[in-house]
Amino acid sequence: MTHVDDWREILVLAAAVQTGMYARLADPASPEQVASELGLDPRATRITIAALIDRGWCIEDGRHVGLSARARAASGPAPSDPDLAEVLLTAREIAAYQRLEGTLRTGTPSHDVSAGDTTTRRHFLEAMRAIAARRSAATMRALPAPPRGGRLLDVGGGPGTYAHAFREHGWQVTVIDLPESLELAGDDLAGWGVAQIAGDITEGLPDGPWDCVYLGNVTHLFGPELAAALVVRAGAILAPGGRLAIQDVVRGLAVPAALFGVTMLVGTRAGEVYDQETYARWMEAAECPLETVVAAEPERHHLLIGRRR
């Protein structure tokens, strides 16, 4: 799917998915028929469908409207596919930013970005998979498995995109994540040959020795004390010479880092965005001094790699 940047288009798409309009238009129908079947306001339905046509998500054939080739490529068999899930996540983020004034006054986030009912959490998981897919190839190039394989711990890797890629590239992979995350992704992980451990990564990590510990998109969820402790804990379970890899939005390297910090403000209780110097200090404390910085997604996402002394 072509990346959608216009907030209005994002919200129109999100509303179409959430009301069932998007799924209904997989089978062409008139706007009046769609409104009647879904219990929607006829005028609102007509105007919204016109916007979907204008933006290339629907096509009109006489009085009937259906999904375009672009929309079908994005949605597949269900509206929970990754590309649309990313749109829904962005719509939630827009709503959270609208409540920023309240967060400024109280310090309390307006929502929990990864929580919600099962459908919302599944959309979040699918969105994380879509976002990770843009970065996984660069991550695999930077972290090739040893010639005879090696043991890799994917910390907080429940969505599974990286875990699957690591497994395909020769690693013996174990994911540790919260039980509710593994509840959604566990069958996929098992099918890919990825071992699973349910647990809270802020309380402990499974004993090693591991040849690589991968912290992918988790440090930004925590305040500096918890994040630093997690990095040190990850270093402690590595074998000598094992790699510590931290992938995240890095302040000073990623163009949207400051705004991503606001996203953490409105969506987590203590999350922040950290700069390379901070990560280097934490990695030194973990006895895994920073050696390499790789742009996993240029100007947006970076991978910081160190080795255990």
- Give the CATH number, domain containing residue 67: 1.10.10.10
- Do 113 and 200 reside in the same domain of the chain? no
**DSSP string spanning 223-269?**
-HHHHHHHHHHHHHTEEEEEEEEEEE-EETTSTTHHHHHHHHHHH-S
* Peptide bond between residue 206 and the one before it cis (omega within 30 degrees of 0): no
Give residue 1's pLDDT: 43
Output phi, psi for 117, to 5 deg: -70, 175
Quick check: 136 pLDDT over 80?
yes
Quick check: 52 pLDDT over 50?
yes
pLDDT in tens, 231-257: 999 999 999 999 999 999 999 999 999
Residue 262's domain spans which residues?
135-307
- Domain presence at residue 84: no
More confidently predicted of 85 and 138 = 138
- Domain presence at residue 86: no
Give residue 77's pLDDT: 42
- Do 121 and 262 reside in the same domain of the chain? no
- Do 152 and 66 reside in the same domain of the chain? no
Enter the tokens of residue 72: 């079908």
Give residue 300's pLDDT: 93
- At 153, is the secondary structure helix, strand, or coil? strand
The domain total for the chain is: 3
Mean pLDDT of 284-302: 96
- Name 163's Cβ contacts closer than 8 Å, sequence gap at least 6: 154, 157, 173, 175, 189, 192, 194
Of 46, 50, 51, which is closest to residue 35 (Cα–Cα)? 46
- Do 24 and 40 reside in the same domain of the chain? yes
Neighbours of 176 (CB within 10 A): 22
Q: What is the CATH number of the domain that holds 139?
A: 3.40.50.150
β-strand 150-155 against 210-216: which pairing, if any?
parallel
CA angle 257, 237, 248 (to 5 degrees): 10
Give residue 34's pLDDT: 98
- Do 171 and 116 reside in the same domain of the chain? no
pLDDT in tens, 56-110: 999 999 899 999 988 887 654 443 445 678 888 899 999 999 999 999 999 999 9
Give residue 75's pLDDT: 57
